[in-house]
Amino acid sequence: MAETAPIEEDIRDKILADPDVILEDHDVMRALIAANERMMGSNIVDLRGIAMERLEARLDRLEDTHRSVIAAAYENLAGTNQVHRAILKMLDPASFEDFLKGLGSEVADTLRVDCVRLVLESVQSEDDPALRRLGDVLCVAEPGFVDTYMTAGRNVPVRPVTLRQTLPDSDAIYGEAAAWVRSEALMRLDLGSGRLPGMLVMGAEDPHHFKPAQGTDLLAFFAGVFERSMRRWLS
């Protein structure tokens, strides 16, 4: 019989002093199990080894799930902080004109979107000089436009928040920016009793920035704060 090479004395002493090191090393444990199976021969089924392999596979899946949950939690926390910072910036302006300018600049930058539009339904003409002074952020539309745009003309209930890729007729909102805006978040606004609804729109050049499968809780919260700010300006 061939003699087995002895373990070097220093390695042997380390293993005896701290055997848990072997148990915690997956690669070493796999090698030991494989060596044990070879010694038993091919006509013996090691049920304990099979059970260990299945447990190891389950552990790997649990670790993957754990990492995914942690990553999602960090992403959600980052998104929450982002929305909170944007709300604080939105509450700073002392005039409605500055409020709208801030939406298109500081608030949009904080939320990392490429453009923000506020759509208000009104019977007043958009060519009114007072409206033109408010800049490109404000869009005035005829009554019924908000619900029609959010549902894409379909006979379906209007959701508070809609995430999707832009429609071909989006130039009514984005103007020249419609050539490069590819996805959008639409938030319906209740501006109070006796007032027509409005819509807050966030547009992104990335077609996958806003997708229907994404959560809308943070955007719904942002829209709720925005509604209350608008009621204050409109009162």
The answer to whether position 24 is within a domain reads no
DSSP the chain: -PPPPPPPHHHHHHHHH-THHHHH-HHHHHHHHHHHHHHH-TT---HHHHHHHHHHHHHHHHHHHHHHHHHHHHHHHHHHHHHHHHHHHHT--SSHHHHHHHIIIIIHHHHT-SEEEEEEE-SS-TT-HHHHTT-SSEEEE-TTHHHHHHTTT-SSPPPSEEEEEPPTTTHHHHGGGGGT--EEEEEEE---TTS--EEEEEEESSTTSS-TTS--HHHHHHHHHHHHHHHHHH-
pLDDT at 190 over 80: yes
pLDDT for 15: 75
Enclosing domain of residue 135: 95-234
Does the residue 208 lie in any domain? yes
Does some domain include residue 3?
Answer: no
Asked if residue 221 is part of any domain, the answer here is yes
Report the CATH number at residue 219.
Answer: 3.30.450.40
Report if residue 70 sits inside a domain: no
Q: pLDDT per residue over 152-187, tens digit each?
A: 989 899 999 999 999 888 888 998 899 999 999 999
Per-residue confidence band for 107, with pLDDT thresholds at 50, 70 and 90: very high
Domain-located, residue 14? no
Is position 33 within any domain? no
| Number of domains within the chain | 1
Task: Report the percent of the chain where pLDDT is more than 70.
Answer: 84
Has residue 18 been placed in a domain? no
pLDDT attached to residue 1: 41
Handedness of CA 93, 215, 182, 171 (dihedral sign): negative
Lookup: tokens for 207: 């077609």
